[in-house]
């Protein structure tokens, strides 16, 4: 009984819409589509005034996450930050039939590789704040301050990798015909590269496959729910 009650404690997540905290929100809704009421409720603490949030981080958030960033999660006595780690926690705990993270080596390897690559490199290409802003404040250099170099990396390193992965798997998803957790992790970065960047980094005319991949992801009810203003 104690174990059952523990499983149903709400998952509390600090969130900014369309920021990296969207990944665990999306992952939660994908799991909810598969497993229904076996998941606990997701409770969001949502911030929408970005300048105010960055100017004065709540003390309770800093006590949970010294970086003062989203996503930050609390589940019972467990506190976590970093979106990839939170997504992995949700998968380990609730994807009991391994529908989003299949046991085959290729899918598992791609998922963990994407978690690390996004956290270490890809997300920082389009980030609007610096990982060292907690100590330098508004004077911290931002990754987006050098968009020319960042776009060059995107075009010359990431785009060929993406097309090779789709060609190898057969598509339309990263691991083939089945949507997996890897699509949540990498797909959010691709979506942001198309829809956040002005001008877009993914033109329909010059990169139709990547453009279509974003449209395919956006057709998923779980992602629609994750990016809804009401989420």
Of 46, 75, 94, the domain-final residue:
94
pTM for the structure as a whole: 0.93
Are residue 76 and residue 119 in the same domain, yes or no? no
How far lies 210's CA from each of 113, 193, 194, 205, in Å?
19, 10, 9, 11
pLDDT digits (tens, 9 = 90+) for 145-169: 788 999 999 999 999 999 999 999 9
Q: How many domains does the chain have?
A: 2
DSSP-derived secondary structure letter, 157: I
Parent domain of 32: 2-94
Residue 83 lies in a domain: yes
What is the pairing mode between strands 11-15 and 42-46?
A: parallel
The mean pLDDT of 205-227, rounded to a whole number, is 97
Question: What are the φ and ψ backbone dihedral angles of 48, each rounded to 5 degrees?
Answer: -120, -20
Instruction: Say which CATH number the domain at 132 has.
Output: 1.20.1050.10
Are residue 31 and residue 71 in the same domain, yes or no? yes
- pLDDT averaged over every residue in the chain: 92
pLDDT digits (tens, 9 = 90+) for 166-207: 999 999 999 999 999 999 999 999 999 999 998 999 999 999
Are residue 112 and residue 84 in the same domain, yes or no? no
Q: Is the pLDDT of residue 144 over 70?
A: no
Q: Is the pLDDT of residue 116 over 90?
A: yes
Residue 100 lies in a domain: no
- Local confidence band at 230 (pLDDT 50, 70, 90 cut-offs): low
Residue 67's H or E segment, with its range, is: none
- Grouping H, G, I as helix, E, B as strand and the rest as coil, residue 7 is helix
Are residue 128 and residue 177 in the same domain, yes or no? yes
The mean pLDDT of 95-101, rounded to a whole number, is 96
pLDDT digits (tens, 9 = 90+) for 24-82: 999 999 999 999 999 999 999 999 999 999 989 999 999 999 999 999 999 999 999 99
Spacing of C-alpha 162 from chain mean position = 17
Please report where in the chains the tokens 């603490």 appear, as a residue: 45
Are residue 85 and residue 137 in the same domain, yes or no? no
Are residue 120 and residue 219 in the same domain, yes or no? yes
Are residue 112 and residue 141 in the same domain, yes or no? yes
């Amino acid at each position: 009984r104690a174990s059952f009650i523990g499983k149903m404690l709400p998952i509390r997540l600090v969130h900014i819409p369309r920021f990296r905290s969207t990944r665990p929100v999306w992952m939660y809704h994908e799991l909810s589509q598969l497993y229904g009421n076996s998941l606990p409720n997701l409770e969001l603490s949502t911030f929408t005034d970005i300048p105010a949030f960055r100017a004065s981080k709540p003390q309770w958030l800093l006590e949970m996450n010294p970086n003062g960033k989203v996503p930050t999660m609390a589940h019972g006595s467990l506190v976590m930050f970093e979106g990839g780690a939170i997504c992995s926690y949700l998968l380990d705990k609730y994807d009991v039939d391994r529908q989003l993270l299949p046991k085959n080596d290729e899918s598992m390897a791609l998922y963990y590789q994407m978690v690390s690559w996004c956290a270490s490199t890809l997300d920082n290409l389009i980030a609007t704040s610096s990982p060292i802003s907690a100590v330098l404040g508004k004077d911290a250099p931002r990754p987006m301050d050098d968009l020319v170099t960042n776009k060059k990396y995107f075009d010359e390193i990431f785009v060929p990798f993406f097309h090779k992965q789709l060609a190898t798997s057969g598509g339309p998803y990263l691991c083939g015909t089945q949507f997996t957790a890897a699509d949540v992790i990498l797909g959010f970065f691709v979506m942001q590269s198309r829809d956040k960047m002005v001008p877009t980094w993914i033109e329909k005319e010059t990169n139709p496959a990547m453009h279509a991949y974003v449209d395919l992801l956006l057709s998923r009810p779980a992602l629609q729910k994750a990016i809804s203003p009401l989420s």
